[in-house]
Amino acid sequence: MEQQLQEKWNGFRELVSKIGSYNEAIGLMYWDLRTGAPRKGAETRAETIGLLSTEAFKLQTSDEMGTYLDFFAQEDHAAQLEDVDRRLVATVKQEYDQSRKIPESEFKAYTILTSKSETKWEDAKESGDFDSFEPFLTEIVATLRKFVGYWGAKDTPYDTLLDMYEPDMTVERLDAVFERLKQRLVPLAEAIAASDIRPELPFLEQVYPKEGQKAFSHFILKEMGYDFDAGRLDETVHPFATGLNPGDVRITTAYHERDVLSAAFSSLHEGGHALYEQNIDPKLTGTPLAQGTSMGIHESQSRFWENMVGRSLPFWQRYFGDLQRQFPEQLAGVTAEQFHFAANRVESSLIRIEADELTYNLHIIIRYEIEKMLFNEDLDVKKLPEVWNAKYESYLGITPPDNAAGVLQDVHWSGGAFGYFASYSLGNMYAAQIMHTLRKEMDNFDELIEQGNLLPIKQWLTDKIYRFGKSKKPSEIIFDVTGEELNPDYLADYLEHKYTSLYNLKL
Amino acid sequence: MEQQLQEKWNGFRELVSKIGSYNEAIGLMYWDLRTGAPRKGAETRAETIGLLSTEAFKLQTSDEMGTYLDFFAQEDHAAQLEDVDRRLVATVKQEYDQSRKIPESEFKAYTILTSKSETKWEDAKESGDFDSFEPFLTEIVATLRKFVGYWGAKDTPYDTLLDMYEPDMTVERLDAVFERLKQRLVPLAEAIAASDIRPELPFLEQVYPKEGQKAFSHFILKEMGYDFDAGRLDETVHPFATGLNPGDVRITTAYHERDVLSAAFSSLHEGGHALYEQNIDPKLTGTPLAQGTSMGIHESQSRFWENMVGRSLPFWQRYFGDLQRQFPEQLAGVTAEQFHFAANRVESSLIRIEADELTYNLHIIIRYEIEKMLFNEDLDVKKLPEVWNAKYESYLGITPPDNAAGVLQDVHWSGGAFGYFASYSLGNMYAAQIMHTLRKEMDNFDELIEQGNLLPIKQWLTDKIYRFGKSKKPSEIIFDVTGEELNPDYLADYLEHKYTSLYNLKL
C-alpha cells in the first residue's frame, strides 16, 4: 500500500472503530434494559441511548465518511486493498447510502411513525381491533414504498426490501424456492394430520422447577461449546442473543415451570446464534464485519443447533439422562424416544412462534406472499385480514377466530420490518442444506451427537461459516460450503425423513 | 431571562446533558465490568470506555464550553440565573478549569503513570517490597506538586488537593478538627484496650450460607427505604454503589459464609450511599449536580446508615429476630445485645478497612498527616515506611510487621488520590453531627428504629440533604442542617457514649 492510501485507510478504520464503540455501548444499554435495569431509570436511559445513537448515525453519514468511501471507490485505490478490506468498504458504503438517500426530515418522521405504530399495535393486538392499527400500517407501507424509490428499486420494489435483510436474495429466487417448499410441505402436513399416531405427552403436564431447568440450560450450552468466558446466560421474558463483540456474546432464556421443552430449546436456539458470533475472526472486531452475514444465515445457525442437533434422536439418546437427573420424578418412566417425539410433534396452529418445525415454514410463506402483494401489487392494507385468513385456511386448514390470533400476531410490520420474515425460513433451508454437506464430510455425525461429542461439529461450522462473519455474503457462504445455491429440497427431505418415521407415513 | 440569555442557556444545558449521557453510558460499562461481564470482552470494552471518556472530556474542555462559561461568568448574566443554575455553572467551570490548566501532554503522561503505578502497587503489595513501588510514587507526588502549581495553590499546596474531594475544606480547619479528635479518641481507645470486658463471639465462627445472607440484605435494604424500582443489588468481590441517574442507583455486596456481619453492614453502607443518590431532586438529572455534594457528605450517609443506625442497639432489638429466622441454628441462644456487642467490638488493628468504628479515625488521621508532610513539607517518599510505622506505634500502639500490612495497604496513592482519605473521617464526623440535630428534632429517634419505622428518618435526610445533590456545598449542608460548622465533638461524644456503656469504662 502506498503511503497516502495507508493514511487514508488508517483514518477510515479509526472512524469505523469509533462507530463500533458507540454500537457496543448502545448494545450493552439495550441488554441492560432487558435484563433488569431499574424501571425508574428507563426514561433517562432512553435519552442516553438516543444521544449515542445520534452520534453514531452522524459519524456513519458524515461528509468525512463520504470522502473516505469515494476515495476507496476509485478503482486504482480499491485494487490495492485486500478482499476483506474491500468488503468492509462495501458494507460501510451500503449503510451510508441507505441513510443518506432518505431526506433527513422524512427519516425522522418515519422514526416517529414506527415508534407510535408499535404502541398502537400493542393495543390493537390486545383488543383484536385491526381498524385502529390500519391507518398506521397504511402510512408505514406508503412511506416504505417511497423509500424504495429513494434507494432505487431492484427487479421489483419488494426486492429492495428483501435485500436489506438477505443481501442479493430476490423475489424471483424466493418465489421458486417457496413454491417448491409448499409443494412438498403442504402434502406432508396433510399426511401427518391424517395419521392417527400421536405422541403420548402426560409428562409435559408436570411442574419443572426453574433451578433444574437453569442447570440443564447451562449444561447443554457448555456441551455445544458456548464459551461462558465470552458470554453469559440471563433470564428474560423473551429469549434473545446479543453480540457486543466476539468476546462478549450474551444470551438469555425464559423458564416456564409448566413447560420443560421451552427453555431447553430456546437455550439451544440462542446458543446457536451465540456460537456464530463468538467464533468470528477476532481480526474483524470493531468493524461491521464482526457480525452474522445476514438474518438468514444467522437464523440457520440457531435453527441448526435447536432443530437439526437438538431435536434429533441421537441428541436425546445422549442427553435425556441428564435431563432426567434434574427431574427424576417428573420424567420417571419416560424414554428418550418418547421425549424426542414430544419435541417433534406436529400440529397446525394459528400462531407462528408456537409452530412446529414443519408448519413454521408455511406461516412464513404466507407472510412472504402478503408482503410481496403489498409492495409489488399495491395490495390495500385494509384487505390484509381477509387475505391473511384465506391463506391460513388454504395452507394450514385453519382460520383465525379473530385478528389478534391472525394478522395482528407479529410485531414486525408495526416497526416497518417488511422483508424480514423470509429470513426465518431461509434459516431452516440453509440449515438443512448445510447439514447435508456436513453429513457427507463427517459421516459419523449421528455418532458424534450420540456420544455428546459436539465440539467437532462446532469446529466444522467455525471453519466453514462462523469465522468469516460478514466478510462473505450469504450466497457465497452457501455456495462455498455446499457447492450449490440455496436448494429447498434439503429441508423438505430432512422433514420428510423425520416425520415419515415418527408418524409412520407413506408418501 | 432575556432571549439571548435563554438561547445561550439552552445551548449550555444541552452540552451539559450530552456529557451526562456519556457519563451514564460509561458508568453502566464499569458496573457491567464489575458484575459479570465476560472476561474475553474486557479488552474491547476498555477501548469503548476509552473512546467515550475521550469524547466526554473533549466536550467538557471544548472551546464551546469555554465560551458558555465566560458568558455566564459576566456579572449581569450571572445575576439573571437562579441559584441552582449559578451553582451548575460554577460546578462545570471547576471541572473545566481543572482540566484545561494542565498541558495536554503532561496530563496524558500522568494518566499513563498512574495506570502503570496501580499495577506496580499490586505487585508491591503482594511482595511487601516498597522500594520497587517507590520511584512511581515519587513521580506521582512530583507531578501532583507541579499540577498544584498549575491549578494554583490555596493557603498551602495540600489545601488544593483537599479541596478537590471536599470543596472549601482547609488544612487549617482539618488540623484543628483532627487534633481535637485525636485528643479524645486516643485515650478512649486506650481505655478500651485496658478494659477486661470482651464480647463473647463463638457464634461468629459459624457458617452462614449465602442465600440467607442475601435474603437479609434485601430485607434490610427495603426496610431503610432503598427503592428496588430505582436500583438493584448484585454480588461482587468488593461492594460498591454507583448512581447512573437518580432513577438507577445500583449497589453490590459481598457474601462471606464465615462472616455474618460483613454483608449485612456493607449492604447498609452501600444502601446509605444509594439512598442519597436515589433521592436527589429529579430536576437535577443529567447535570453534574445530580450527585453527592462531596466525598465527605457521601460517606456521612453510608456511615450514618451503617453505624449510627445499623450498629445501634435499638436496630438489633428490632431486626435480630429477622436475622435469627434466616439462621436459626447458627444464632440459637444468642441475644440481640450479644450480637450488638459483637458488631461493635473494638480492637486496634493494622488494616484500615478492617478497623472498628473508633480506631478507623486514627487510621485516617495518620494518612492525613503523612499526605500533608508530602505536599507541604516536602517529605521524601523514601521515608514513608519509617514515618508510617512510627505513627501506627504512637496512635494505635502497634507496628506493622511489613510494608504490605503497612504503607502499601491502600490503593489510593498509587492512583494519585491524595486528599481523598480525609473524606472517610469527615463522613464519620458529619454523620454524628447530623444525628445530633436529628435527635433534637425527632426525639423518638431510638423508638423509630426499635419499631422498624426507618422511613421518617430517610425522609428527614431527604428534606435536609439528599434532594439538594451537589447544588449546595458540603459546608452549606452542614451549617444549614445543624446550625454550626463541622464540630468533631459530636463524633467523640457519640463514640464515648457507646463504648463507655459497652466496655463499662470510667473516663
Residues B370-390: tens digit of each pLDDT: 999 999 999 999 999 999 999
Using alpha carbons, select from B120, B117, B124, B113 the residue that is nearest to residue B147. B113
Task: Determine phi and psi for A87, rounding to 5 degrees.
Answer: -65, -35
Q: Please, which residues bridge with residue A245 across strands?
A: A248
Nearest to B25 among A48, A230, A247 (CB): A48
* Tens-digit pLDDT profile for residues B96-126: 999 999 998 898 899 889 988 988 999 999 9
Yes or no, beta carbons of A245 and B41 under 8 Å apart: yes
- Which residue of B26, B45, B54, B280 to mutate against A (max A Cβ within 10 Å)? B45
Residue A1 banded pLDDT, cuts 50, 70, 90: low
* Tens-digit pLDDT profile for residues A345-378: 998 899 999 999 999 999 999 999 999 999 999 9
Task: Determine phi and psi for A245, rounding to 5 degrees.
Answer: -165, 170
Rg (CA), chain B: 23
The amino acid at A507: L
CA–CA separation, A229 vs A232, rounded Å?
A: 8
Flag whether A256 is marked binding.
Answer: no
Does residue A277 come out as left (phi exceeding 0), alpha (psi in the -120 to 50 range) or beta? alpha
Q: From the CB of residue B321, how many other CB atoms can be counted at a distance below 10 Å?
A: 11
Residue B8 banded pLDDT, cuts 50, 70, 90: very high
Which stretches does DSSP call E strand in A113-184?
none
H-run or E-run covering A448: helix A445-450
Residue B349 neighbours by CB under 8 Å, 6+ apart:
B355, B356, B359, B396, B398
Return the pLDDT at A200: 83
Yes or no, beta carbons of B38 and A286 under 8 Å apart: no
Mean pLDDT of A377-382: 98
Residue B140 neighbours by CB under 8 Å, 6+ apart:
B110, B113, B114, B117, B413, B414, B416
Residue B153 banded pLDDT, cuts 50, 70, 90: confident
Say yes or no to pLDDT of B158 above 90.
yes
Say yes or no to pLDDT of B506 above 90.
no
Does residue B355 come out as left (phi exceeding 0), alpha (psi in the -120 to 50 range) or beta? beta
Residue B200 is placed in which grid cell?
463473647
Nearest to B48 among A24, A36, A230 (CB): A24
* Block residue for cell numbers 461449546: A225
Yes or no, beta carbons of A21 and B52 under 8 Å apart: yes
Say yes or no to pLDDT of A39 above 90.
yes
Return the pLDDT at B104: 84
Yes or no, beta carbons of B285 and A44 under 8 Å apart: yes
Say yes or no to pLDDT of B488 above 80.
yes
Query: Closest chain A residue to B14 measured between Cα atoms?
Result: A51
Return the pLDDT at A494: 98
Tell me, yes or no, if A94 comes closer than 8 A to chain B by beta carbon. no
Say yes or no to pLDDT of B300 above 80.
yes
* Block residue for cell numbers 471544548: B62
Mean pLDDT of B389-399: 94
Tell me, yes or no, if B245 comes closer than 8 A to chain A by beta carbon. yes
**Helix, strand, or coil (residue B250):** strand
Q: Which residues of B174-209 are buried (b: 16+ CB within 10 A; e: fewer)?
A: beebbebbbebbbebbebbeebeeebeeebbebebe
Return the pLDDT at B107: 87
Using alpha carbons, select from B280, B290, B248, B279 the residue that is nearest to residue B16. B290
Tell me, yes or no, if A32 comes closer than 8 A to chain B by beta carbon. yes
Tell me, yes or no, if B277 comes closer than 8 A to chain A by beta carbon. no
The DSSP 8-state label assigned to residue A259 in this structure reads B
* Tens-digit pLDDT profile for residues A427-467: 999 999 999 999 999 999 999 999 999 999 999 999 999 99
CA–CA separation, A236 vs A262, rounded Å?
A: 13
Using alpha carbons, select from B423, B389, B383, B393 the residue that is nearest to residue B406. B389
Q: Are strands B241-245 and A241-245 parallel, antiparallel or unpaired?
A: unpaired
* Block residue for cell numbers 450530552: B18
Mean pLDDT of B322-343: 97
Mean pLDDT of B294-323: 98
Say yes or no to pLDDT of A104 above 90.
no
Does residue B292 come out as left (phi exceeding 0), alpha (psi in the -120 to 50 range) or beta? beta
What DSSP line would sit under B2-52, residue for residue? -HHHHHHHHHHHHHHHHHHHHHHHHHHHHHHHHTT--GGGHHHHHHHHHHH
Tell me, yes or no, if A247 comes closer than 8 A to chain B by beta carbon. yes
Number of A to B CB contacts under 8 A, please give it. 110
Tell me, yes or no, if A230 comes closer than 8 A to chain B by beta carbon. yes
| Partners of residue B230 in chain A, C-beta under 8 Å | 38-41
CA–CA separation, B423 vs A269, rounded Å?
A: 51
| Partners of residue A227 in chain B, C-beta under 8 Å | 40
Residue B184 is placed in which grid cell?
479524645
Task: Determine phi and psi for A358, rounding to 5 degrees.
Answer: -85, -60
Mean pLDDT of B208-219: 98
Tell me, yes or no, if A234 comes closer than 8 A to chain B by beta carbon. no
Return the pLDDT at A20: 96
Return the pLDDT at B201: 87
Residue A153 banded pLDDT, cuts 50, 70, 90: confident
* Tens-digit pLDDT profile for residues A57-68: 999 999 999 999
CA–CA separation, B228 vs A178, rounded Å?
A: 50
Say yes or no to pLDDT of A2 above 90.
no
User: Count of alpha carbons within 13 Å of A394, Cβ hemisphere only?
Assistant: 11
Flag whether A340 is marked binding.
Answer: no
Say yes or no to pLDDT of B357 above 70.
yes
Residue B1 banded pLDDT, cuts 50, 70, 90: low
Q: Is A270 a catalytic residue?
A: yes
Say yes or no to pLDDT of B343 above 80.
yes
Rounded to a whole number of angstroms, the distance from the CA of A59 to the nearest CA of chain B is 13
Return the pLDDT at B414: 95
CA–CA separation, B103 vs B283, rounded Å?
A: 35
CA–CA separation, B366 vs B389, rounded Å?
A: 10
Tell me, yes or no, if A52 comes closer than 8 A to chain B by beta carbon. yes
What domains appear along chain B, each with residue ranges and CATH number? 101-202+291-507 (1.10.1370.30), 226-274 (no CATH)
- Which residue of A18, A21, A251 to mutate against B (max B Cβ within 10 Å)? A21
Which stretches does DSSP call E strand in A203-272?
233-235, 241-245, 248-253
Residues of B forming the active site: 270
| Partners of residue A38 in chain B, C-beta under 8 Å | 228-232, 247-250
CA A56-B10-A21 angle, to 5 degrees, is 15
* Tens-digit pLDDT profile for residues B9-64: 999 999 999 999 999 999 999 999 999 999 999 989 999 999 999 999 999 999 99
Residue A178 neighbours by CB under 8 Å, 6+ apart:
A365, A368, A369, A425, A488
| Partners of residue A247 in chain B, C-beta under 8 Å | 38-44
CA–CA separation, B248 vs B242, rounded Å?
A: 9
Task: Determine phi and psi for A248, rounding to 5 degrees.
Answer: -150, 80
Mean pLDDT of A257-273: 97
- % of chain B beyond a pLDDT of 90: 93
User: What is chain B's mean pLDDT, rounded?
Assistant: 96
Residue A236 banded pLDDT, cuts 50, 70, 90: very high
The amino acid at B397: G
Using alpha carbons, select from A221, A205, A447 the residue that is nearest to residue A313. A447
Yes or no, beta carbons of A21 and B48 under 8 Å apart: yes
CA–CA separation, A247 vs A228, rounded Å?
A: 10
Return the pLDDT at A55: 93
**Helix, strand, or coil (residue A253):** strand
Nearest to B51 among A21, A42, A48 (CB): A21
Give the A window 371-430 contacts with B, CB below 8 Å: none
* Tens-digit pLDDT profile for residues A155-193: 999 999 999 999 999 999 999 999 999 999 999 999 999
| Partners of residue B37 in chain A, C-beta under 8 Å | 232, 248
